[in-house]
Structure 1
Amino acid sequence: MIRHLRLFVLGACLAAGAAAQAQAGPFAAARERGELVVGVPYLAPPPEAGAKIRTPDGLDATMADRLGQSLGLPVRLRQLSPEQASAALAAGEVDLALADDTAGLPASVAVQPTGYAARPKAVIRSDTRLRRPADARGRSVCMAEAATASRALAQSWGAVVRTYRVPSDALVAVREGSCDIGLVDDAVWDPLIRFPEWKKFSSTLAADGARRERVWLLPADDSASRDWLGQEMRAWDRAGAWKAMTAKWARDVAFDVYLDQEVPDCHG
């Protein structure tokens, strides 16, 4: 009887220990909630009813989805500035957030680099003479609304800035001649320009502007999630994840542009 009681107590202790270990694992709150909530600096407004769905600017949504897949959790995005992200992390409203501006973050927020860094790069018709940033003064320069770095850079050139809901809209404007220059991340520029239909738009401007790295923000006291996330980012790098994600983005946006220019709108 005593032996059975000891075995029961031992089993209960082991079960309690395993439960505590699981609770202390990475992103325990997200696992308990059943979804990973990720803050992002910008979410494009949803398309109107019947409108075409288009690829958003940047890789934020793709990165969040890939992280959710690694954790086995669905992902919900929430638009947050870095300042809002700090408060949301402290309140447990989001599990982590993406940002490229870490200035002024409190000590309660940890920063995990992703390894993805980019700066704006121009998409221009090859038969123009635009080659230097100074040549953009007074010219129309187009980009997605989410591309804040591109907007700031174009403004510093003295350009006429035009923003669009999604990047394909800005690139269509370049292809149709209503915009002189389009701006996308330099990381996605090369895979985009490799498509044959973009050969006539493969000119660019001399590199300008700072290269900025996307980083994850998460609670500094969550060591289990910090350790796991650091390992995950190293695994992404070894697997060539950034090359795969930028290539897919370029392919998707090129297809969006094709649909806008070549395929009749069934709703129009």
Structure 2
Amino acid sequence: MTTLSIRTVLSALLISVCAATLLPAHVSAATGSAASTASTAPKAADSPALFSQAIARGSLRVAVVHVTPAAAPGAKVRTEDRLDAPAVKALATALKVPSQLVELAPAEAAKALVDGRVDLALYSLPADAANWPDVTPVPTSYRTYPKAVIRSDTNIRSRADLAGRSVCVARSATQAATEATRAGATLLSFPYPSDALVAVREGKCDLGLIDQTVWQPLMHYPEWKKFSATLELADAPRTLTWLLPATQVREAQWLQSRMQQWDRAGQWVAFSKKWATDVAFDVYLDQEVPDCHS
């Protein structure tokens, strides 16, 4: 072995011995620092859980205007109207607890929140909605108003043209039904939005009404191009709003922060696109006859 090789080997051994000698002191110091940090840092268990009642119950109970009945065994799967269900499910997932929808009118939900029968509520509320003294509203950025789905060759040009016309709506589309009735139209109500839209395509009614936010992504599909004429009926949109007991200040703050995160992530856009995709597929499978006047 050459002199250079011997020196190289001896240097490596010397470095190894020094490192082994110094290592325990460094490890001990690091361990002590970590232990000190762990002892002073607050533990997750020290902080009260959000929506503790829901956690204890094992489900997040949320009041909504309509709960779609479970499909019968073997029945076709239908996409629900509105974005209530996916929004509630996403929120419950963030809280790591299953969700349960409860069908209640807003005034009933306000009482149920105070009584602890539900943990949250979610409604599309107008600007002049009642302010319940024991309830805290947390508005989302999601605005709702009905928008028409009409054949492109329609002669329906304004709200006045709806008098005497037939309008197809989903049973839970309360705002759309109200506006169409005010305009003098005849309502044809269906259990699901896909059923209403199939009726529009088959010529069973003059137009359909769906929420404006999901109208745009639906019209992106080629098969809907000749139904892309539209009409907006509502004078002012409604705001999709969470309601929770006024005593739950921490929960309200967390919910506001979560909604801001959803806005940054484009969550409502994602919900709308998925809804349109699912409904378009429902209609594609369910349409029994070709489009009228094809």
Give the TM-score taking structure 2 as reference length: 0.80
Rate the CA distance shift 1:260–1:17 in 2: closer, same or farther, 3 A.
closer
Question: How high is the sequence identity, in percent, across the aligned residues?
Answer: 50
Paired residues, number? 249
Rate the CA distance shift 1:18–1:204 in 2: closer, same or farther, 3 A.
closer
Alignment counterpart, residue 154 of structure 1, candidates 168, 171, 180: 180
2:261 is paired with a residue whose SS is helix
Give the TM-score taking structure 1 as reference length: 0.87
Partner of 2:83: 59
Partner of 1:32: 56
CA RMSD of aligned residues (A): 2.1
Q: Tell me whether 39-48 or 51-60 shows the greater mean CA deviation.
A: 39-48
Alignment counterpart, residue 201 of structure 1, candidates 205, 224, 227: 227
Partner of 1:223: 249
Deviation at 1:208?
Answer: 3.8
Deviation at 1:257?
Answer: 0.5
Q: Deviations over 1:216-268 (max 9, x none)?
A: 000111111111001000000000011111000000000110110269xxxxx
Deviation at 1:101?
Answer: 3.3
The runs of 4+ residues in structure 1 deviating greater than 4 Å are: 16-20
Q: Tell me whether 48-57 or 131-140 shows the greater mean CA deviation.
A: 48-57
Q: Deviations over 1:92-144 (max 9, x none)?
A: 11110011237334211000001111110000011222121111111101110
Partner of 2:124: 100
Partner of 1:177: 203
- Whole-angstrom CA distance in 2 between matches of 1:206 and 1:91: 39
Q: Deviations over 1:157-198 (max 9, x none)?
A: 111111110100000000000011100011000000110111
Rate the CA distance shift 1:161–1:231 in 2: closer, same or farther, 3 A.
same
- Whole-angstrom CA distance in 2 between matches of 1:242 and 1:19: 32
Q: Computing the radius of gyration over CA atoms, which structure comes out larger, 1 or 2? A: 2
For structure 1, the residue ranges without an aligned partner over 5 or more in a row are 1-13, 264-268
Rate the CA distance shift 1:41–1:240 in 2: closer, same or farther, 3 A.
same
Aligned positions of 1:233-248 closer than 5 A: 233-248=259-274
- Whole-angstrom CA distance in 1 between matches of 2:203 and 2:147: 18
Q: Deviations over 1:19-53 (max 9, x none)?
A: 452x3x32111122222111111112333443212
Matched, 1:257 2:283: yes
2:50–2:251 Cα contact (<8 Å) kept? yes
